[in-house]
């Protein structure tokens, strides 16, 4: 077995939005663990595992009870969409047993599916500017009581009521909707300034500045970390959670269970200044998904004629704070039909994945829908994605050598090492040739794994010519490595 010269992480997002409600994901992903590890994946991001308001039809983000991992007959089912508590814990054990670190999806900032109502005094808030509200607070009947009768105090006796939240958006007695902030409560300060203040998203907004709430979330986190054995966390919608909350919470989690040592936050903004500011405010206690880079991919895929590839990573976290950037191409929120739809066009996906997997990004994430397809939308798996992951794990070195001659529609780089890798991106409508030079290529025969064609013979000084068809990418590896790669991904 060949081996690269660097230890490269590669994350798989192990779900997409339209998976069937058949309770089968935990067992299915466990059955893939050996193959995923062999392919080169090192981290598995699993979807939210606790009971949602829609029971086994909930994707996981309409959180009802974070202690119910598919164990109690609540919201119309015992299992979640993905399976039972036993299935979940078994999947984590299996994934970890094959060397994959497991990231648990943590959704803190909203609760849904309350068990009871109470009278609460609240101000109506301006949707477009949440810092503005009616001066007069009105008493309303709101769904803000969570006492989890089916669980009956197992694992925690904490009961939620309006004092544990900052606001809501639904009035129970008349069905009216609209953002309301509870009297005596304030939105958190260290959040996105979208709409004035973006503390509130939906449902009952958890008040992470309430001491009793912080204690409960910490107690839950200790229980969850020790119960599941998760190695890290994907933190949902952090733009709406006070940045000061996370550092002490994560510090505590790292003292328990498997001592989870990795966290990535989802801050949905294409503005790199916002992303960098949140990293600063949270004390760099987590990485962030590079949403800015995702939007660059989307723009390039939709308008290649006017997009300059030389600025592909401009104004992104990958450029600004590479040690804190978790790069991705698409995810469950960007896929067709979702509220944040911003799907990267299929023709450009190989180029985007080559950019995140075969350069120097530290934490690339592969989307389930790109690896396995999305039957709901007749989206096929992306060709060569398995090969890129394998090359990253088994061949890729750690020294990127940019090649001269880049243009608005062409990029070329080589990654030097014992097993050199050269990549050409071409968004023009004609084939191109790129001259490359690297000592690592001296006297080698390179083959393009993406396209059939004659091998590229490198001279004694490591100089040669690489070709790339129109509107695609070419990935060149040593001919001696190609057969092993083909055998591994067959």
Going by the annotation, the residues of the binding site are 109, 199, 205, 207
Helix (H, G, I), strand (E, B) or coil at 48: coil
Domain assignment present for residue 81? The answer is yes
Q: What residues make up the domain containing 484?
A: 399-489
pLDDT of residue 6: 59
In the chain, the percentage of residues whose pLDDT exceeds 90 is 96
Residues 386, 284 within the same domain: yes
**Beta strand 138-145 with 116-124: parallel, antiparallel or unpaired?**
antiparallel
pLDDT of residue 234: 98
Q: At what angle do helices 85-97 and 211-228 cross, to 10 degrees?
A: 60
Residues 350, 477 within the same domain: no
* Band of residue 7 on the pLDDT scale cut at 50, 70, 90: confident
For residue 381, what are the CA distances in angstroms to 252, 349, 384?
A: 39, 11, 9
What are 436-488's pLDDT values in tens digits? 999 999 999 999 999 999 999 999 999 999 999 999 999 999 999 999 999 99
Domain assignment present for residue 2? The answer is no
Cα dihedral 267/271/273/274 (nearest 10): -30
Residues 163, 20 within the same domain: no
- What is the rounded distance in angstroms from the CA atom of residue 12 to the CA atom of residue 194? 30
Domain assignment present for residue 76? The answer is yes
Average pLDDT over residues 2-9: 63
Nearby residues of 175 by Cβ (< 8 Å), 6 or more positions away: none
- Tell me which of 190, 207, 224 is where a domain ends: 207
What are 195-213's pLDDT values in tens digits? 999 999 999 999 999 999 9
- pLDDT of 380 higher than 50: yes
- Tell me which of 183, 207, 231 is where a domain ends: 207
pLDDT of residue 4: 44
Residues 430, 375 within the same domain: no
**Residue among 169, 266, 478, 482 flagged as catalytic:** 266
Going by the annotation, the residues of the binding site for Ca(2+) are 109, 199, 205, 207
- pLDDT of 1 higher than 80: no
Residues 241, 289 within the same domain: yes
- What is the rounded distance in angstroms from the CA atom of residue 222 to the CA atom of residue 417? 42
**Residue among 65, 236, 290, 478 flagged as catalytic:** 236
In the chain, the percentage of residues whose pLDDT exceeds 70 is 99
Average pLDDT over residues 235-264: 97
Domain assignment present for residue 479? The answer is yes
- Both tokens of 304, joined, read 């290649």
Residues 156, 196 within the same domain: yes
Residues 389, 269 within the same domain: yes
Answer with the residue of higher pLDDT: 336 or 170: 336
Residues 89, 189 within the same domain: no
Considering only CA atoms, which of 389, 410, 385, 401 is closest in space to residue 300? 410
Is the separation of the CB atoms in 102 and 261 below 8 Å? no
How many Cβ atoms are within 10 Å of 308's Cβ, its own excluded? 13
Give the domain CATH number at 140.
2.40.30.140
Residues 201, 279 within the same domain: no
Is the separation of the CB atoms in 445 and 478 below 8 Å? yes
- pLDDT of 300 higher than 90: yes
- What is the rounded distance in angstroms from the CA atom of residue 433 to the CA atom of residue 431? 7
What are 49-65's pLDDT values in tens digits? 999 999 999 999 999 99
Average pLDDT for the chain: 96
Considering only CA atoms, which of 65, 256, 60, 53 is closest in space to residue 158? 65
pLDDT of residue 174: 81
- The residue length of the chain stands at 490
Domain assignment present for residue 3? The answer is no
Residues 163, 269 within the same domain: no
- Tell me which of 394, 411, 431 is where a domain ends: 394
Is the separation of the CB atoms in 69 and 91 below 8 Å? no
Active site residue 266: yes
Give the domain CATH number at 411.
2.60.40.1180
Nearby residues of 211 by Cβ (< 8 Å), 6 or more positions away: none
What are 387-409's pLDDT values in tens digits? 999 999 999 999 999 999 999 99
pTM of the model: 0.96
What are 94-128's pLDDT values in tens digits? 999 999 999 999 999 999 999 999 999 999 999 99
Give the domain CATH number at 271.
3.20.20.80
Domain count, the chain: 3
Please enumerate, as own/partner, the contacts of 83-86 that have beta carbons within 8 Å and a separation of 24 or more: 83/23, 83/24, 83/25, 83/26, 83/27, 84/23, 84/26
Active site residue 271: no
* Band of residue 5 on the pLDDT scale cut at 50, 70, 90: very low
Residues 179, 118 within the same domain: yes
Residues 69, 90 within the same domain: yes
Average pLDDT over residues 216-225: 98
Domain assignment present for residue 370? The answer is yes
Domain assignment present for residue 274? The answer is yes
């Amino acid at each position: 077995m060949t081996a690269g010269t660097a230890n490269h992480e590669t994350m798989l997002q192990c779900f997409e939005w339209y998976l069937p409600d058949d309770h089968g994901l935990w067992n299915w992903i466990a059955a893939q663990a050996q193959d995923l590890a062999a392919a080169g994946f090192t981290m598995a991001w699993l979807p939210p595992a606790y009971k949602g308001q829609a029971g086994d039809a909930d994707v996981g983000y309409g959180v009802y009870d974070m202690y119910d991992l598919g164990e109690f007959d609540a919201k119309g089912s015992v299992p979640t969409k993905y399976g039972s508590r036993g299935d979940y814990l078994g999947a984590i054990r299996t994934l970890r047993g094959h060397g994959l670190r497991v990231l648990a999806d943590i959704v803190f900032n909203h609760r849904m599916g309350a068990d009871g109502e109470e009278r609460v005094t609240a101000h109506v808030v301006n949707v477009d500017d949440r810092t503005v509200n009616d001066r007069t607070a009105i008493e309303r009947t709101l769904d803000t009581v969570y006492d989890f009768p089916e669980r009956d105090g197992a694992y925690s006796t904490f009961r939620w009521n309006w004092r544990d939240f900052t606001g809501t958006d639904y009035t129970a007695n008349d069905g009216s909707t609209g953002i309301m902030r509870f009297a005596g409560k304030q939105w958190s300060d260290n959040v996105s300034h979208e709409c004035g203040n973006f503390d509130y998203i939906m449902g009952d907004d958890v008040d992470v500045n309430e001491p009793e709430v912080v204690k409960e979330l910490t107690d839950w986190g200790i229980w969850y970390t020790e119960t599941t054995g998760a190695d890290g966390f994907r933190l949902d919608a952090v733009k709406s959670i006070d940045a000061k909350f996370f550092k002490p919470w994560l510090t505590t989690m790292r003292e328990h269970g498997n001592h989870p040592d990795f966290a990535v936050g989802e801050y949905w903004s294409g503005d790199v200044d916002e992303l960098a500011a949140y990293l600063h405010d949270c004390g760099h206690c987590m990485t962030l998904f590079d949403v800015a880079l995702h939007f660059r991919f989307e723009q390039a895929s939709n308008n290649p004629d006017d997009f300059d590839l030389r600025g592909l990573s401009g104004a992104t976290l990958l450029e600004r704070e590479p040690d804190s950037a978790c790069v991705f191409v698409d995810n469950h929120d960007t896929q067709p039909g979702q509220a944040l739809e911003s799907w990267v066009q299929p023709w450009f996906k190989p180029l985007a994945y080559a950019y995140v997997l075969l350069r120097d990004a530290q934490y690339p994430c592969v989307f389930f829908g790109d690896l396995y397809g999305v039957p709901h939308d007749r989206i096929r798996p992306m060709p060569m994605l398995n090969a890129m992951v394998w090359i990253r794990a088994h061949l890729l070195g750690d020294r990127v050598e940019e090649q001269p001659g880049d243009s608005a529609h062409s990029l070329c780089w080589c990654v030097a090492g014992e097993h050199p890798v050269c990549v050409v991106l071409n968004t023009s409508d004609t084939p191109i040739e790129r001259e490359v030079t690297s000592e690592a290529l001296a006297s080698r025969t390179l083959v393009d794994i993406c396209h059939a064609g004659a091998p590229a013979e490198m001279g004694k000084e490591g100089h040669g010519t690489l070709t790339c068809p129109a509107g695609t990418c070419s990935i060149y590896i040593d001919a001696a490595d190609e057969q092993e790669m083909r055998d591994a991904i067959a």
